[in-house]
Structure 1
Amino acid sequence: REHFSIRQSDRRWILEGQRLLRHYLIVRTPFYDKDLVEFMLAVPPGLRFEEHLYRTAFRRAFPRLAKVPLEKTGLPLAPGMRELRVRVGRRLRWWLRGAGLRFIAPPRRRPYADYNGWLRTALRPWVEEMLLGPQTRLRDLFRPQAVQELVAEQMAGANHARRLGVLLTLELWLRQLP
């Protein structure tokens, strides 16, 4: 699996973006150092599983940063009671599912940021100006009525943050064109 990841997906997806940007940015890939990769492939799989070695080294080198919650899990790298509770809960659910009790739902992951709330409150004037204002360039690509309905539904409480994010990105890009 690691060989496939290094030779195929990383090379095709991650490194391709860096190749496109290297004329504009200084790109560094410290984790693709040949000696480091060979060393890590020689490390026993138990230490590589779930980035155990990386997390342990990070906690020792940067103890204050290790207390910052991760985007993916909402938990810090530094061990604490909350992390212990979550890990015990995961193990318990895994054990119960193995015993045939599959009705126990996993906890819902907390989103990293409340994009829906931001779009409705602090960013509302900006969203409306960008997507509904007189200088909107999306009118040539999308029906203005459809965009207006999408924005109105979002402001009324619907969850269209992802769609609006795509439209906002496209609008910002279009405004940079001559």
Structure 2
Amino acid sequence: MNNQSGPQAGTFDRHQRDQYLAFGFVPQLPDGDALSLLSAWSRLPRRSRRAVSESGLVREGVRALKAAFEECASTAESRGDQVVFLSGGLDSRVILGALLEFYRPAEILAATFGAPGEQDFDFAAKVARAADVRHEVLESFSADWTTQGLVDSVLAREVPLPYPFGQRYLSYRLHQKIGVHNTFWDGLGGDAVSGAHIPGRDEHWTWEAAVSRFLNMHLLAHADQYTSPGFRPEASMPAAPFVSDSLLSYPDQLDFAVRQTRYINTRYMLGYSVRTPFLSRPWLDFMLSVPVGYRYEQRLYMTIQRQAYPRLFKLPTTTFDGGGVPASPLLRKVLVVQRRALRKTERMGWPSRPGGKPHSGANNAIRGSHRHRTDIRELILKNLDDLANRGVVTGLESDAIAQAMVERRISDTRISVLLGLELNLKAVDRLTKMGPEASR
């Protein structure tokens, strides 16, 4: 995948702004194929549980995984490095393990952003050392946090960009540091394809129930305080499924069409050569055809990981709070459920980590840094004052927000969404001023 086109000038109208304020992204789908992210998928029907065995699926899955990477490697640029943004999670580690089978360690560059003490940052360093690959790091506050830089980072992708204040800005800076003359391997779709987001073992959902669950998972707390009167979040959702649920469950369809496409996929940088092995045909055709129960809680995927790259997956992971991937699926399930609940509370802006337990990634530290960094606080307040002066958010008063920040009556997530809205509006302003030159 090569993203060569320039940023597009356009509008960010009230309905889009309301969606952004309610979800942190704009879920309403544009015209075209809603499942375009799965364009390589052959749409094979799911197999029945009676027709498969877990041991057989593991062997088949290892072959499919390696075939997916072989397919991507055969079309990768030969120039520069093979780059993987390495965290403490699972997908980037699979990518590293596979790259080591197709390239020499000297041809591979791991890259990580964050800060010492964060699990993603620390565990990535351990994995890179174990794999004997070079490791480029960017510490969170060594980057230059300015409004102009943040707007530049939006325009380096597409408008509107979800959550430009956080890890996506560090990713932008690290891409710049590494340079365009390399191939970047991205885990887009890895979680969704392997089953991290499916709600249970049941393959049969009504469309209405799937939409209701999606809204429950993604609608931000107190959204109605910021959106226009009469705004209905459910109206942003697709009215009907895209394919039969015998091919792809309804929760999966919403995940791929809405979350992956309208939220996750927007992280792509324009002008960079990117490979997405988890969206290649061998892996999609295998994983989406197995019974849903084997994908639930990534049961099969984790067993495949341990089988394919045992040395790497014995090292600490954020998924298991510092442990490697356990051999027992039952133990994995307990730990994954606990972690998912924790991440949900953090995203909704509720207190979640008594006892000072470290966060896994950089986002929380960055978004909470206004409490102890004057420069970040001033950046946020200046932009929120600009947003209030636009008059596009009903009842928004910058002085009231500033006081709420001091008294912790507004979550860091909500602050980040309001800031993100203003940064996107500034990006639209700049594109409008640039005119036709913006898309050249």
Do both share a fold (TM > 0.5)? yes
Letter of the 1:172 counterpart: L
Look up the match of 2:257: 12
- C-alpha separation in 1, matches of 2:416 and 2:390: 16
The answer as to whether partners of 1:59 and 1:78 remain within 8 angstroms in 2 is yes
Per-residue CA shift, 1:12-45, capped at 9, x if unaligned?
2224664996865545432233332332345455
2:33 equivalent to 1:33: no
Per-residue CA shift, 1:64-96, capped at 9, x if unaligned?
6851213xx75645339xx959939x8xxxxxx
Residues 1:171 and 1:65: Cα distance change in structure 2 (over 3 Å): farther
Q: Higher helix share goes to which structure? A: 1
Residues 1:109 and 1:163: Cα distance change in structure 2 (over 3 Å): closer
Look up the match of 1:68: 317
- C-alpha separation in 2, matches of 1:64 and 1:43: 23
Look up the match of 1:126: 376
- C-alpha separation in 1, matches of 2:256 and 2:396: 42
Letter of the 2:417 counterpart: V
Map 1:103-118 to 2 at 5 A.
110=353, 113=364, 117-118=368-369
Look up the match of 1:162: 413
Identity of aligned residues (%): 23
Look up the match of 1:55: 302
- C-alpha separation in 1, matches of 2:411 and 2:275: 35
- C-alpha separation in 1, matches of 2:312 and 2:255: 29
Residues 1:161 and 1:57: Cα distance change in structure 2 (over 3 Å): same
Residues 1:66 and 1:54: Cα distance change in structure 2 (over 3 Å): farther
Look up the match of 2:325: 78
- Please give the secondary structure, in 2, of the residue aligned with 1:171: helix
Count the aligned residue pairs: 154
- Please give the secondary structure, in 2, of the residue aligned with 1:31: helix
Deviation at 1:3, TM superposition (A): 0.9
Task: Provide structure 1 residue ranges, at least 5 long, that are not aligned to the other structure.
Answer: 91-107
Map 1:138-157 to 2 at 5 A.
138-142=387-391, 146-157=397-408
RMSD of the alignment, in Å?
4.5
Query: Normalised by the size of structure 1, how large is the TM-score?
Result: 0.57
Letter of the 1:51 counterpart: Q
Letter of the 1:148 counterpart: D
Letter of the 1:52 counterpart: R
- C-alpha separation in 2, matches of 1:27 and 1:114: 28
Deviation at 1:46, TM superposition (A): 5.0
Residues 1:7 and 1:169: Cα distance change in structure 2 (over 3 Å): closer
The answer as to whether partners of 1:116 and 1:161 remain within 8 angstroms in 2 is yes
The answer as to whether partners of 2:313 and 2:324 remain within 8 angstroms in 1 is no
Deviation at 1:128, TM superposition (A): 2.4
Look up the match of 1:94: none
Query: Normalised by the size of structure 2, how large is the TM-score?
Result: 0.28
Q: Higher strand share goes to which structure? A: 2
- C-alpha separation in 1, matches of 2:332 and 2:256: 37
Deviation at 1:7, TM superposition (A): 7.6
- C-alpha separation in 1, matches of 2:385 and 2:276: 38
Which structure has the bigger radius of gyration? 1
- Please give the secondary structure, in 2, of the residue aligned with 1:79: coil
The answer as to whether partners of 1:69 and 1:75 remain within 8 angstroms in 2 is yes
- Please give the secondary structure, in 2, of the residue aligned with 1:3: coil
Look up the match of 1:96: none
